Amino acid sequence: MAGVTRGRFITFEGGEGAGKSTQVRRLTARLRERGLDVVATREPGGSPGAEAIRDLVLKGEADRWSPTTETLLMYGARRDHIERTILPALERGAWVICDRFADSTRAYQGGAGGVDPAFISALETYLLADVRPDLTLVFDLPVEVGLARAEAFAASAGHAETRFESKGLAFHERLRAAFLAIAAAEPGRCAVIDAAGDIENVETQVWEAVSGRLQDRG
């Protein structure tokens, strides 16, 4: 691997129904058009083992797992994802675009779920190692709008990954506040995207953030 420049790691974060998955696809296509090696992935998931854990975490009743158990499941999936997908891609010089990463645990299980931030920080220290995002795009929109979008998508797609959507409005208000607090605390890494607009408007914001902040890195 001598002479290979480490790739770039961009994460997409935010609450339910924010449109992250659509924008991950669009950004991936745009970067590939520029000749970059791009790996698009997601959490929980992104490797066979992590995808198996995804089914456990995202399906079932809202109280299926406690927030602490959720944290451990998420980090089990995340570590496998890092080892098998993210780190190999970065080491070969690829750009990794990930729909959710460690900030989702901080926000969902920490800010909204009440898990001790020190516990989550300790897991980050031991399990993330030096795999940290170069840029995090935090998609923000009113909770009611996001939940309505998520409900409509689940109905049209017929999927059962609705466990977090069912946690109630107060949970999602705390979640939104947690994501905005992360962005405010780390402005050098995070850019807030107004996700309430149409797809093209959001895509423009994403591209401006990526090209503006990472243009000196390839």
With respect to residue 78, please indicate whether it lies within any of the assigned structural domains.
yes
* Average pLDDT along the chain: 92
Asked whether 18 and 195 are in contact (CB, 8 A), the reply is: yes
With respect to residue 132, please indicate whether it lies within any of the assigned structural domains.
yes
* Least confidently predicted of 18-22, 42-46, 119-123, 166-170: 166-170
User: At a CB cut-off of 8 Å and minimum separation 6, what does 25 contact?
Assistant: 40
- CATH number, domain containing residue 23: 3.40.50.300
User: Residue 187 has which token pair?
Assistant: 């402005």
With respect to residue 76, please indicate whether it lies within any of the assigned structural domains.
yes
* Structural domain containing residue 30: 19-212
- Model pTM? 0.93
- Per-residue pLDDT reduced to its tens digit, 67-111: 999 999 999 999 999 999 999 999 999 999 999 999 999 999 999
With respect to residue 6, please indicate whether it lies within any of the assigned structural domains.
no
**The predicted structure's pLDDT at residue 165:** 81
Q: What is the rounded average pLDDT of the residues 39-44?
A: 98
With respect to residue 217, please indicate whether it lies within any of the assigned structural domains.
no
Asked whether 80 and 144 are in contact (CB, 8 A), the reply is: no
**The predicted structure's pLDDT at residue 2:** 47
- Per-residue pLDDT reduced to its tens digit, 152-184: 877 776 666 678 888 889 999 999 999 999 999
pLDDT above 70: percentage of residues in the chain: 94
Domain total of the chain: 1
With respect to residue 12, please indicate whether it lies within any of the assigned structural domains.
no
